[in-house]
Amino acid sequence: EAPFRLADYAPPAFDITHVDLDFRLDRTETRVLARLSIRPRGTATVLELVGDELVLAGLSLDGAPLAADAFTATPSLLTVRAVPDRPFLLEIETVIDPSANTKLMGLYRSTGAYCTQCEAEGFRRITYFLDRPDVLSVYTTRIEALKSEAPLLLANGNPGAHGDIPGSGRHFAVWHDPFPKPSYLFALVAGDLGAVKDSFTTMSGRKVDLAIYCEHGKEARCLYAMDALKRSMRWDETAFGREYDLDVFNIVAVSDFNMGAMENKGLNIFNDKYVLADPNTATDVDYANVEGVIAHEYFHNWTGNRITCRDWFQLCLKEGLTVFRDQEFSSDMRSRAVKRIADVRTLQARQFPEDGGPLAHPVRPEIYHEISNFYTPTVYEKGAEVVRMLQTILGEDGFRRGMDLYFNRHDGDAATIEDFLACFAEATGEDLTQFSLWYSQAGTPQVAARGEFDARHRRYRLTLAQSIPATPGQPVKRPMQIPVRFGLIGPNGEDLDFASVSGARVDGDVIHLTAASQTVTFEGVSTRPVPSLLRGFSAPVRLAIDASAEDLLFQVRADRDPFNRWQAAQTLAMRSLVAGASATAEGRNGAAEPALIDALGAVLDDEKLEPAFRAQVLQIPSEADIAREIGENVDPDAVAASRKRLRLAIVSSLGPRLLAVHTALGAEQSYSPDAGNAGVRALRNAVLDLMVASGSRAAVGAAVWQFETADNMTDRLAALAALCHAALPERLSALHTFHEAYRSDPLVLDKWLTLEASVPAPETLDRVKALLAHPSFAASNPNRVRALVGGFASLNQAQFNRADGAGYDFVADFVLDLDRRNPQTAARLLVAFRSWRSMEPVRRAAAEAALRRIASAPKLSPDTLDIVTRTLA
């Protein structure tokens, strides 16, 4: 099929000003009557509305049924010929089967309730429509259902009339949303659900009724999400001056969901994984995720809903910006430094490999075959980094002025990236022409840095050179504007002053790198500095600096930028790990790294540092991180061996100090999910994970004891994970105990499935295959699939990338099977193959064979066909 191109954008030929929907819900035969108020924009007389697997049951125009020769209807297109050249009312009746909807797009059923997912193109599975984000309509929704089956009836907007339909056992409710919106924000929920309720008074004094709905019996697990919602609402008022606009805000948690959550106007629908949390079933990381996703979807009310996207190429307009906003919220709620490290870890683990492989695309793509495949780390996480750079370049005040202008000027619009950038340029006078390349050029820029100190002239010269690798469709790149936040660290750890600087625009502590190569000269520098570059990760680039080990060690101990302290430790560890992997591959033993281990020890013992930060430093790069750094001819077994060796060396040098920290942190108050309390657990569990890696009896005993006695899921799971990561025999009975304890709690069992799949041992593949038939697994549920198969493919590098190709074949078979029922989730699993070309030749050939087998399978979905085609290209 022909691709969609940004360059082909044309405005719609018709507006649909009002949409009146009437749903008669039925498990297998739901009737939808859509009354569309349509207004021609120009002179077009043929109206084409898209559908997807629809059955048309009735069609009339201005009240008169249409003659058979006046239209044609297929499951995917309704064409009405000779429509009037004035506003008219089109009434369409469709029949849909929510029970048969395994794609989880459109109207479907999840654990007994009716729910919808419309972004990006699910509304066309409900009725024929101009299903594109630049068609904004006012929606009125009437829902009718059996009262016994669905006592709760929800849709977007504010509640209106409701009542019983006498003698039928059925009832109805009407909802009206006064804010014009695109069809992708439509939502409906009907079912028998429990609720927690609360209220929020906005900054102008309006009272908003809040509710979170979930399965009966899980209400108490919604209280943290409710608290996070109220904090989000307040934060958006304070940080961005944005107030909520309807009388109600409803959230519904469902257990079958393709993504994390959805920002439907006034009716957010969530994967229950991002709503439910209590100490017994959720980890500290789960709590942080709930807080972040609740905030993200709420923030979309302004960045996404009040201002939406003109077309799907502009997806980052709402997603990158909203991720930036939720990151800022979490930074204000928790530790900013630790949040930044965690976000950069995610970016480097998910976006960098995408940007460096066959699926690379710009933050604003220019071509797509299947839009569902563009909800990517590049659009979301790199998109957020681009907004963050804008803030770095403009300063906090300038950034806020630009945001204010954007909200004021574009409220009610379907906007573009150009509209967005123009607001910042106008509000601040900054020329953002070169900066805008961040939206159109794919690939992670590499910045090489070299410093030179001239003691006689008290001069420091810093040469920065950027290069951007070729990516699919973009062989040649232009230099970009890269904000490099920096400091020149003096011997006492303080940043050195300088008298003047030339060779680049420098604003405060930000160097603007704009050319391919620039030499920045600092005059009046008293002594040789250690350069601290890219502080706070001020740009999403790979920094290559020929810093000596001594300078990096100094940074670990002394940099006043906590991010760069962490980064320096990671860089040192990475050097050692990469060297260790090539040593292993060549049959040699890597050297121990006493200086690195000393530095880690210093951080471990430094009680002035937050425990959560110390935990981050102790977590050395993952096997996937190391493989990405090596970049070509990767032998995952050598990588695993190298990582294991370094961890053992750390334990053997720091053993008693690790134990001391573990013991000292053990005497802890009762569980609270707040960041400080969670940080203590993070450090203690990072230490435990290291100690258990040694397999020492004492450490294993401590893990088993913690597993058996922990009063919260974080500590219990961390102990179990340590046993699994070290592939110790003690894991077997602990995994069994864990499953027995939570056998009726699918979300907790997802953690169990993931741990089973992540054991670094050859027998894991057979175990994973056996678990496909386990009663606690269900291939119809995306969370189960991601936990087991996704966990295996993304967290178990050595076993997924087995030399015999059995890991690839397993995932390929699973994807082919799932593709017939849930293409979106299948295509997403397939992304695990994105780095196949960087493997050594035997694995590369095995991966290619598996991919070719998928590519040649009959009847692939557009989703999976798109991913496999690009992955092989």
Active site residue 297: yes
Check: CB of residue 462 under 8 Å from CB of residue 450: yes
How far apart (Å, rounded) are the C-alpha atoms in residues 494 and 487?
A: 9
Whose Cβ is closer to ligand B3K: residue 372's or residue 799's? 372
Smallest CA-to-CA distance from 746 within 781, 790, 720, 699 is with: 781
Number of neighbouring beta carbons within 10 Å of residue 123: 29
Whose Cβ is closer to ligand B3K: residue 120's or residue 718's? 120
Task: Please report how close the Cβ of residue 373 comes to ligand B3K at its closest, in angstroms.
Answer: 9
Enter the tokens of residue 55.
Answer: 């059955």
Whose Cβ is closer to Zn ion: residue 322's or residue 373's? 322
Task: Please report how close the Cβ of residue 211 comes to ligand B3K at its closest, in angstroms.
Answer: 20
Query: Hey, what amino acid is at 473?
Result: G
- Given the DSSP bridges, would you call strands 542-545 and 446-454 parallel, antiparallel or unpaired? parallel
Task: Please report how close the Cβ of residue 265 comes to Zn ion at its closest, in angstroms.
Answer: 14
283 contact choice in ligand B3K, Zn ion, none (CB below 5 to 8 Å, kind-dependent)? none
Contact string 598-637 vs ligand B3K (x = CB under 6 A): ----------------------------------------
Return the residue matching tokens 């970049």: 631
720 contact choice in ligand B3K, Zn ion, none (CB below 5 to 8 Å, kind-dependent)? none
Enter the tokens of residue 506.
Answer: 């420098």
Number of residues that bind ligand B3K (CB under 6 A): 12
Q: Which stretch binds ligand B3K (CB under 6 A): 18-26, 294-302, 349-357, 602-610?
A: 294-302
> Does residue number 259 form part of the binding site for ligand B3K (CB under 6 A)?
yes
Whose Cβ is closer to ligand B3K: residue 376's or residue 801's? 376
Contact string 689-728 vs Zn ion (x = CB under 5 A): ----------------------------------------
Check: CB of residue 527 under 8 Å from CB of residue 552: no
| Residues in region 794-853 near Zn ion by CB under 5 A | none
Whose Cβ is closer to Zn ion: residue 319's or residue 629's? 319
259 contact choice in Zn ion, ligand B3K, none (CB below 5 to 8 Å, kind-dependent)? ligand B3K
- DSSP structure string for 758-818: H--STTHHHHHHHHTTSTT--TT-HHHHIIIIIHHHHH-HHHHT-TTSHHHHHHHHHHHHH
Enter the tokens of residue 810.
Answer: 């397993």
Task: Please report how close the Cβ of residue 120 comes to ligand B3K at its closest, in angstroms.
Answer: 6
692 contact choice in Zn ion, ligand B3K, none (CB below 5 to 8 Å, kind-dependent)? none
Rule CB under 6 A: choose which of 263, 343, 385, 730 binds ligand B3K.
263
CA within 13 Å, CB half, 754 = 18
Task: Please report how close the Cβ of residue 356 comes to ligand B3K at its closest, in angstroms.
Answer: 24
Distance (Å) of CA 386 to CA 116, 417, 515, 574:
32, 12, 18, 26
Rule CB under 6 A: choose which of 34, 190, 251, 262 binds ligand B3K.
262
End-to-end Cα, the chain, rounded Å? 17
| Residues in region 279-338 near Zn ion by CB under 5 A | 319, 322
The phi, psi pair for 528, rounded to 5°, reads -60, 120
Check: CB of residue 788 under 8 Å from CB of residue 756: yes
Rule CB under 6 A: choose which of 136, 261, 541, 552 binds ligand B3K.
261
Burial of 3: CB neighbours in 10 Å, binned 0-12, 13-18, 19+: exposed
Task: Please report how close the Cβ of residue 393 comes to Zn ion at its closest, in angstroms.
Answer: 24
Rule CB under 6 A: choose which of 20, 177, 256, 297 binds ligand B3K.
297
How far apart (Å, rounded) are the C-alpha atoms in residues 456 and 453?
A: 9
Whose Cβ is closer to ligand B3K: residue 305's or residue 706's? 305
Number of neighbouring beta carbons within 10 Å of residue 39: 12
> Does residue number 236 form part of the binding site for ligand B3K (CB under 6 A)?
no
- DSSP structure string for 580-628: HHHHHHTTPPPPP-HHHHHHHHHHHH-TTS-HHHHHHHHSPPPHHHHHH
Smallest CA-to-CA distance from 261 within 307, 216, 220, 228 is with: 228
Rule CB under 6 A: choose which of 264, 305, 372, 796 binds ligand B3K.
372
Q: Which stretch binds ligand B3K (CB under 6 A): 72-80, 257-265, 415-423, 462-470?
A: 257-265
Number of residues that bind Zn ion (CB under 5 A): 2
Whose Cβ is closer to Zn ion: residue 259's or residue 857's? 259
> Does residue number 675 form part of the binding site for ligand B3K (CB under 6 A)?
no
The phi, psi pair for 206, rounded to 5°, reads -85, 135
Burial of 655: CB neighbours in 10 Å, binned 0-12, 13-18, 19+: middle
> Does residue number 296 form part of the binding site for ligand B3K (CB under 6 A)?
yes
Q: Which stretch binds ligand B3K (CB under 6 A): 223-231, 261-269, 572-580, 692-700?
A: 261-269
Return the residue matching tokens 């990475």: 574
> Does residue number 319 form part of the binding site for ligand B3K (CB under 6 A)?
yes
Q: Which stretch binds ligand B3K (CB under 6 A): 129-137, 185-193, 295-303, 583-591?
A: 295-303
> Does residue number 369 form part of the binding site for ligand B3K (CB under 6 A)?
no
Task: Please report how close the Cβ of residue 430 comes to ligand B3K at its closest, in angstroms.
Answer: 28
Burial of 6: CB neighbours in 10 Å, binned 0-12, 13-18, 19+: middle
Distance (Å) of CA 21 to CA 184, 188, 507:
15, 11, 55
Q: Which stretch binds ligand B3K (CB under 6 A): 2-10, 296-304, 425-433, 706-714?
A: 296-304
Contact string 91-120 vs ligand B3K (x = CB under 6 A): ----------------------------xx
Residue in 121, 297, 730, 756 annotated catalytic: 297
375 contact choice in ligand B3K, Zn ion, none (CB below 5 to 8 Å, kind-dependent)? ligand B3K
Return all residues near 71 (Cβ < 8 A) that are at least 6 apart: 59, 78, 79, 80, 81
Is 94 strand, coil or helix?
strand
How far apart (Å, rounded) are the C-alpha atoms in residues 38 and 87?
A: 6
Task: Please report how close the Cβ of residue 289 comes to ligand B3K at its closest, in angstroms.
Answer: 13
Residue nearest to ligand B3K (CB): 119
> Does residue number 52 form part of the binding site for ligand B3K (CB under 6 A)?
no
Check: CB of residue 866 under 8 Å from CB of residue 369: yes
Rule CB under 6 A: choose which of 235, 375, 522, 814 binds ligand B3K.
375
- Can you give the binding site for ligand B3K, defined by CB under 6 A? 119-120, 259, 261-263, 296-297, 300, 319, 372, 375
Active site residues: 297
Q: Which residues bind Zn ion (CB under 5 A)?
A: 319, 322
